Chains A and B, each alone.
Chain A
Amino acid sequence: MKGTLVNLNVNPCKMCMPMGVATAFYGIKKCMTILHGSQGCSTYIRRHMATHYNEPVDIASSSLTEEGTVYGGERSLILGLLNLIKVYEPEVIGVATTCLAETIGEDISRIINKFYEQYPEHKKVTIIPVSSAGYGGTQFEGYSNTLYQIIKSVPMDTRKNGRVNIVTGMLSPADIRYLKEVLESFQIDYILFPDLSENLDGGYHPNYDKLPQKGTDIKDIAQMAGADYTIELTPFVEESISVGTYLQEVYNVPCKKCNPPVGLRDNDYFIQLLSVITKIPVPRALKEKRARLLDAMIDGHKYNSEARAVIYGDPDFVYSSVRMCVENGVVPIVTATGTLCSGFKDMILMEIKDLMDHYFIDRYDILEDVDFQTLEELAKERKANVFIGNSDGRRMAEKLGVDLVRRGFPIHDRVGGQRLRMVGYEGSLTFLDDITNVIIGRKETGFREELLKLYYKPEGTYQAKELGYDELEDSIALTNGKTVESEQKDINSSAIKASENRDRDQDALVHKNTNRNMKEKTIEEKTATHPCFSCGAAHQYARMHLPIAPKCNISCNYCVRKYDCPNESRPGVTTHVLNPMEALHKFLEVKEKVSKLSVIGIAGPGDALANFKETKRTLELIREKDADITFCLSTNGLMLPQYADDLVKLGVSHVTVTMNAIDPTVGAQIYKYVDYMGVKYYGETGAAILLSNQLAGIKMLTEQGIVCKVNIVMLKGINDYHIPDIVKKVKELGGSITNIMPLIPVKGSVFENLPLVSKDELMAMRSNCGETLKQMFHCRQCRADAIGTLGEELSTIKNPSVHIAVATKNGTLVDQHFGQVSELYIYEYKNGASFYKERRPIKKYCDGASECNNNEYKIKAIMEAISDCTAVITMRIGEGPKNQLKQQGIRVFTMYDRVEDCVLQAAALITDGIKNRKKDKEVLYDKA
């Protein structure tokens, strides 16, 4: 699945209300539940619960039929109650409605009254109605509402009894048992409501009793009105159905609402509260447990701080988990609940904001009413490395190769979901350890391979760097040949996978374990982060086109050679061509500034493959410095069959081929000639040669797993009718996407006056072809030297070249007084990079007392020595020399820093000035 569907819930992150009802009633002693509705509801809920709790779960159904639906289900429900009492002999029965019963308007309170009237002998059975339409909310609301309905239905005994009510949300049986232990350690006479700790996690006994024998006794519930306090541990329960609030308002039982004791703060608060209520000091054993949690928090904190967690589930669960995570530096990068819950977003935001600020994280999400499709997308986008929640996240975890820390309900893919803990100091510690271990696990299993890939370079390439590439070209080819071979194998195997996956609507990232999988991940990831191939990446990731390929080998009728090739680039601006070494420097410089730089492209200004030597060298040099960056290249395809294998070896993963026709008669109208192997071919012959090479070349690439995009320039009346056929052909050849572009007419070209394609026509063509193959809708027709994301170009304004003299002792720092220098380092700044040119000795300006008077002479000598420089950078300089330099038009910068940094800073100031001056001039011209 790609992209989220807005009109559908895809893979629900919630269940329905009756699920919560059944769960709550399982915490009541000798209680059975009957769902008033279709048979399936109870069976599904039973299955869901049985798999989680590993306990028999018996829930009855009124098994409504067609007749019941039409004429009302009264008879069914009354019969159901009778049968249930006969077989199970319960003391309490919960009657819950379902979607169906609510929709047909069943009044279950009335039916229950009628039942009591008809069968007075069953009056001793407490029957509690709960309205719970499946569409009225989720299991969370169903659960809370059930507690409220129970408390309202049970006749209350208001005599003071000195007990303490504890009301909980949907906690695991193990967590409930822990709560009881703590309460007992404070010698509290408590009423725990509800208590599903035994009924849904019972032991094995020779005699099995199908009616739940444990849980909160209805007689105890009746005493809740006479208790001293209520402690309500469900932060997100709606005020209108809060048991604590109800008891306070109706029976004056003071209510203390607090968070479930998860994490340090909430445990501390809870324990303090119990201590205050009981006036019993905190038991030593608890203090020890607390100390152990603190110790674990310290032990794990560095790992935890690397965690980027997706936390999902019921609001209470998510909130508690988030609070504990935040205490430990685990970043809740995506926090979500499947229900709609007032206050959720604000409360979560309050919890996580500080942590986000501390770690400089500005992109995170808090969502309500979420589904797993959305969660999966966000998890990928935000690079989550741990999931926290129920087992419904297992598919997302499996797909993205991220481990899931299982908590909450349901846990279907592991045993013991009912025994998982998060409450209490110990429970929190276990929970935290599970999270920490996911992060450690990722590190332990991945770090060798990751670091090897990142830092290890084969020996030969180190030499190449030191000696310069010319004389070492052969040895590079040799050593690379060796390493490339093994790499190529990997690419091939990934190619098989890639081609298998091509039609699937999936961009699943595969597990990281095996080498082969590593590669698969790489190629898919590369596409996902390539702004020209993946729409999502267009705004997030940057690419840089290196203008190293000036020559072209075909003549297109829409092109004028003095400008950039319009196939991939915007015509009309001539690019300054770089040699491979300059390209490398430019890359390094830009990379430092643009962190999201993910792609290096060779796109002209001519054809990348007509300048193969330069292309190859540039890519090799960059690959030495950056093992990960994606290589991308665009070409007219003429030389593809010859170089396709080389491109694969070079690690090029994405290739754009401009193919405007698949019929030589059409091609002949577009191309004037084709220069192939030193001979010019005109007309249809030329077009045919080009075409056959394009087809063969694309096939060679796609068969090796290279992602191919085909650009098509839409030419009205020439190839427009023919484009759908081209797209079909591209699909056949295994191409991934086509980019249909409008012609941008260039003055002086054959097609200068060709009628323009309207935006509507273009979009119609794209969506027509979109049925055949994925289309690129976000193309910006970049220049050959474009840098940045597709939305914003970073540095296309041509920078002038300037020379700068630097006063430095050892070439590392600007650390000298101008008066003390015996030599100056000369740097050239161009295209955003500084290049060391030479060391230029000069006579010391101040050679001691005897010649100090002859300042004028020496200054002149220096001026001469640096006459080609625009500026001087020095640590300090006297006023005299400074003025004299200024008079000569040499700017002076006094700085103390690394030489290269100073040069860049100074250059920035100088070029800004130049640009501004240009602007000023333009303004002047305008005025004139």
Chain B
Amino acid sequence: MMNSIVLEERKDFILQKQEGCQGSSMRCDANSISGAVSQRACVYCGARVVLNPITDAFHIVHGPIGCASYTWDIRGSLSSGDDLYRNSFSTDLREKDVIFGGEKKLTAAIEEIAKKYHPKLIFVYATCIVGVIGDDVEAVCKSMSAKYKMRVIPVKSPGFSGNKSVGYKMACNAIMELMGPHRPEKKNGVNILGDFNLAGEVWIVKDYLKKIGIPVISTITGDSNYESLINAPAAQLNIVQCAGSSTYLATRMEEEMGIPYIKISFYGIEDTIDSLVRIAEAMKEEAARRKAVEFGEAEKAKLRNFLESYRKNLVGKKAAIYVGGGFKAISLIKQFHSLGMETVVVGTQTGKKEDYEVIESMVNENTVILDDANPAELETFIRDKGADILVGGVKERPLAYKLGIAFCDHNHERKHPLCGFEGVVNFTKEINLSLLSPVWKYIKQEVVV
């Protein structure tokens, strides 16, 4: 089945599901292959994704201008308070700095901010060349922290030091460093990890938890701030939404603070209900469990007619999925399934071995599973498998359109929530309006001139 378009080095990263389960022999979690036109970003990107939603922090990108320029306010994380995080601060290193080092510039920048704004929290992202030119970012951060009695936390994120997952890890380390000295008194409640409040999703989840009587201590990092984050160690349980980015943090918090965690997902009706019930169980709250079941069933009932009518439109359609992490891909496969749709191509940028095992067990035979795919592969398999819609990010969108198929934005830039029961409605509507748009009919008409 391997098309000539697939590079030799890439073949191990692609799998077509055969009869029965092979226990996923495909490779993943490796560096991208040179010249393959990977869709992945870099370590800095991963770190920024996780930390960016911290609303009252100064996020300083230490490096030349590009990194700051391309990541300025591109994400849909919402804030109920500060909007400092929507600015892009860069030390804007120049030729001269590369020769003589950028430490002075960084120090001056931090001092200026300290004097003008007295912030509580600054993150300094060290990008590609910082280490190469010999800047000791850690030392600068340390001395500035001490001098101005604020937290200046270095985030080691040179682009070459791995892939996006490494960036997640670096961000998690930074959060651990931030919480490090704080051990607030234990309180009844949970932390939400790995939800970045895209289009207000954290607010939706918090509202559900409130409904079933589970207090939320801290959200990491959607709509969070310095004060809320240092309070996180007070929680009894961590619930992890985006596993790819935040499992590492949950593990460290479990080991170092004794806070257990569970993975949950608020994408899709079943996942949402199961997650609420599981959280109540993990908290050993019988009343909450009862409420979760009741609330879930009630919401599900409300959606029944809605879904049934949409299902008629969508049943039998084929979906291709190419998203950032395994967690999201798995949720999407389930959601498409519940709409009567089949997933024929599924890939992720940073999925883990266990993610691919789950995926393989969920999809039908002949479904193509890819890790770190490139546009050529996506094009080929979307065509070969006859997908009607692609779910992906901004870079994949024009490809879907050029191939004449529908598209669903499932990325950090979207402006409508896709989680919870609200999200099911939005997702279903979006799939429907794109798939059933009249344009597909017209563009495929042969022109008789």
A104–B116 CA distance with the chains assembled, in angstroms:
36
Q: Report yes or no: B395 in contact with A46, Cβ–Cβ below 8 A.
A: yes
| B234 interfacial by beta-carbon distance below 8 Å | no
| A362 interfacial by beta-carbon distance below 8 Å | no
A14–B116 CA distance with the chains assembled, in angstroms:
25
| B24 interfacial by beta-carbon distance below 8 Å | no
A390–B77 CA distance with the chains assembled, in angstroms:
23
| B53 interfacial by beta-carbon distance below 8 Å | no
Smallest Cβ-Cβ distance to A69: which chain B residue: B160
Question: 8 Å CB contacts to B: which residues of A1-57?
Answer: 1, 3, 5-12, 14-16, 18-19, 34, 37-48, 50-51, 53-57
| B72 interfacial by beta-carbon distance below 8 Å | yes
A822 CB to nearest B CB, Å: 71
Given contacts A47-B395, A51-B394, contact A79 B90 (CB under 8 A): no
Given contacts A40-B42, A62-B35, A135-B95, contact A47 B64 (CB under 8 A): no
A206–B402 CA distance with the chains assembled, in angstroms:
8
Question: 8 Å CB contacts to B: which residues of A409-452?
Answer: 412
Spot the interface stretch: B80-88, B138-146, B182-190, B196-204. B80-88
A38 CB to nearest B CB, Å: 3
Given contacts A40-B45, A99-B129, A133-B95, contact A12 B34 (CB under 8 A): no
A201–B449 CA distance with the chains assembled, in angstroms:
24
A240–B215 CA distance with the chains assembled, in angstroms:
65
| B94 interfacial by beta-carbon distance below 8 Å | yes
| B425 interfacial by beta-carbon distance below 8 Å | no
Spot the interface stretch: A84-92, A323-331, A718-726. A84-92
Q: Report yes or no: B394 in contact with A505, Cβ–Cβ below 8 A.
A: no
Among the listed A38, A60, A82, which residue makes an inter-chain contact with B42, where contact means beta carbons less than 8 Å apart?
A38
| B176 interfacial by beta-carbon distance below 8 Å | no
Residues of B within 8 A of A104 (CB): 132
| A621 interfacial by beta-carbon distance below 8 Å | no
Smallest Cβ-Cβ distance to A770: which chain B residue: B118
A40–B163 CA distance with the chains assembled, in angstroms:
9
Residues of B within 8 A of A136 (CB): 95
Question: 8 Å CB contacts to A: which residues of B77-111?
Answer: 82, 84, 86-95, 97-98, 105, 108-109, 111
B230 CB to nearest A CB, Å: 19
| A869 interfacial by beta-carbon distance below 8 Å | no
A84–B374 CA distance with the chains assembled, in angstroms:
11
| A925 interfacial by beta-carbon distance below 8 Å | no
Residues of B within 8 A of A41 (CB): 42, 66, 159
Q: Report yes or no: A505 in contact with B117, Cβ–Cβ below 8 A.
A: yes
Residues of B within 8 A of A635 (CB): none
Given contacts A8-B109, A14-B65, A134-B65, contact A43 B160 (CB under 8 A): no
Among the listed A43, A54, A76, A103, which residue makes an inter-chain contact with B398, where contact means beta carbons less than 8 Å apart?
A54
Residues of A within 8 A of B90 (CB): 8-9, 12
Q: Report yes or no: A1 in contact with B87, Cβ–Cβ below 8 A.
A: yes
Q: Report yes or no: B37 in contact with A38, Cβ–Cβ below 8 A.
A: no
A771–B115 CA distance with the chains assembled, in angstroms:
10
A77–B394 CA distance with the chains assembled, in angstroms:
27
Q: Report yes or no: A56 in contact with B399, Cβ–Cβ below 8 A.
A: yes
A320 CB to nearest B CB, Å: 23
Given contacts A40-B42, A66-B160, A87-B7, contact A6 B68 (CB under 8 A): no
Q: Report yes or no: A134 in contact with B64, Cβ–Cβ below 8 A.
A: yes
Q: Report yes or no: A48 in contact with B70, Cβ–Cβ below 8 A.
A: yes
B403 CB to nearest A CB, Å: 6
Smallest Cβ-Cβ distance to B398: which chain A residue: A56
Among the listed A34, A50, A65, A206, which residue makes an inter-chain contact with B35, where contact means beta carbons less than 8 Å apart?
A34
Given contacts A16-B64, A208-B403, contact A83 B376 (CB under 8 A): no
Q: Report yes or no: A63 in contact with B86, Cβ–Cβ below 8 A.
A: no
Residues of A within 8 A of B162 (CB): 65-66
Given contacts A3-B116, A12-B90, A37-B159, contact A43 B38 (CB under 8 A): yes
Q: What range describes how many residues of A lie at the interface?
A: 35 or more
| B32 interfacial by beta-carbon distance below 8 Å | yes
A66–B9 CA distance with the chains assembled, in angstroms:
19
| B44 interfacial by beta-carbon distance below 8 Å | yes
Given contacts A50-B397, A54-B398, contact A16 B66 (CB under 8 A): yes
| B73 interfacial by beta-carbon distance below 8 Å | yes
| B271 interfacial by beta-carbon distance below 8 Å | no
Q: Report yes or no: B98 in contact with A135, Cβ–Cβ below 8 A.
A: yes
A104–B161 CA distance with the chains assembled, in angstroms:
14
A51–B72 CA distance with the chains assembled, in angstroms:
14
Among the listed A14, A38, A42, A373, which residue makes an inter-chain contact with B158, where contact means beta carbons less than 8 Å apart?
A38
Given contacts A43-B42, A48-B70, A208-B402, contact A63 B32 (CB under 8 A): yes
Q: Report yes or no: B65 in contact with A9, Cβ–Cβ below 8 A.
A: yes
A505–B399 CA distance with the chains assembled, in angstroms:
42
Residues of A within 8 A of B105 (CB): 7
Among the listed B66, B86, B402, which residue makes an inter-chain contact with A18, where contact means beta carbons less than 8 Å apart?
B66
Q: Report yes or no: A12 in contact with B5, Cβ–Cβ below 8 A.
A: no
Given contacts A1-B87, A10-B88, contact A61 B69 (CB under 8 A): no
Residues of A within 8 A of B108 (CB): 7
Residues of A within 8 A of B443 (CB): 204
A546–B129 CA distance with the chains assembled, in angstroms:
62
| B375 interfacial by beta-carbon distance below 8 Å | yes
Residues of B within 8 A of A11 (CB): 72, 87-88
B13 CB to nearest A CB, Å: 13
Interface string of B2-13 (1 = CB under 8 A from A): 000101010000
| B113 interfacial by beta-carbon distance below 8 Å | yes
A51–B397 CA distance with the chains assembled, in angstroms:
9
Smallest Cβ-Cβ distance to B443: which chain A residue: A204
Smallest Cβ-Cβ distance to A505: which chain B residue: B117
Given contacts A8-B60, A8-B113, A40-B43, contact A87 B398 (CB under 8 A): no
A6–B32 CA distance with the chains assembled, in angstroms:
38
| B63 interfacial by beta-carbon distance below 8 Å | yes
Among the listed A3, A16, A63, A206, which residue makes an inter-chain contact with B33, where contact means beta carbons less than 8 Å apart?
A63
Residues of B within 8 A of A64 (CB): 159-160
Q: Report yes or no: B379 in contact with A100, Cβ–Cβ below 8 A.
A: no
Residues of A within 8 A of B399 (CB): 56
Q: Report yes or no: B64 in contact with A44, Cβ–Cβ below 8 A.
A: no
Question: 8 Å CB contacts to A: which residues of B391-449?
Answer: 393-395, 397-399, 401-404, 443-444
Q: Report yes or no: B403 in contact with A40, Cβ–Cβ below 8 A.
A: no
Q: Report yes or no: A38 in contact with B113, Cβ–Cβ below 8 A.
A: no
| A504 interfacial by beta-carbon distance below 8 Å | yes
| B286 interfacial by beta-carbon distance below 8 Å | no
| A81 interfacial by beta-carbon distance below 8 Å | yes
A343–B320 CA distance with the chains assembled, in angstroms:
52
Residues of A within 8 A of B33 (CB): 63, 79, 83
Smallest Cβ-Cβ distance to B133: which chain A residue: A103
| A68 interfacial by beta-carbon distance below 8 Å | yes
Given contacts A10-B89, A56-B399, A103-B132, contact A39 B95 (CB under 8 A): no
| A265 interfacial by beta-carbon distance below 8 Å | no
| A785 interfacial by beta-carbon distance below 8 Å | no
| A210 interfacial by beta-carbon distance below 8 Å | yes
Given contacts A8-B109, A204-B443, A392-B72, contact A39 B40 (CB under 8 A): yes
Residues of A within 8 A of B93 (CB): 135
Among the listed A10, A63, A99, which residue makes an inter-chain contact with B87, where contact means beta carbons less than 8 Å apart?
A10
17 contacts between A and B (CB under 8 A): A1-B84, A1-B87, A7-B105, A11-B87, A16-B65, A38-B43, A39-B32, A40-B67, A43-B40, A43-B395, A50-B395, A63-B34, A69-B160, A83-B33, A100-B132, A202-B402, A210-B376
Question: Which of B's residues lie within 8 Å of A, judged by CB?
Answer: 5, 7, 9, 31-45, 60, 63-74, 82, 84, 86-95, 97-98, 105, 108-109, 111-113, 116-118, 127-129, 132-133, 158-163, 374-376, 379, 393-395, 397-399, 401-404, 443-444
New contact pairs (6) apart from A44-B67, A47-B395, A64-B160, CB-CB < 8 Å:
A38-B159, A45-B70, A82-B35, A87-B35, A87-B36, A136-B95
Question: Which of A's residues lie within 8 Å of B, judged by CB?
Answer: 1, 3, 5-12, 14-16, 18-19, 34, 37-48, 50-51, 53-66, 68-69, 76-77, 79-84, 86-88, 98-100, 103-104, 133-136, 138, 202, 204, 206, 208, 210, 373, 392, 395, 412, 504-505, 771
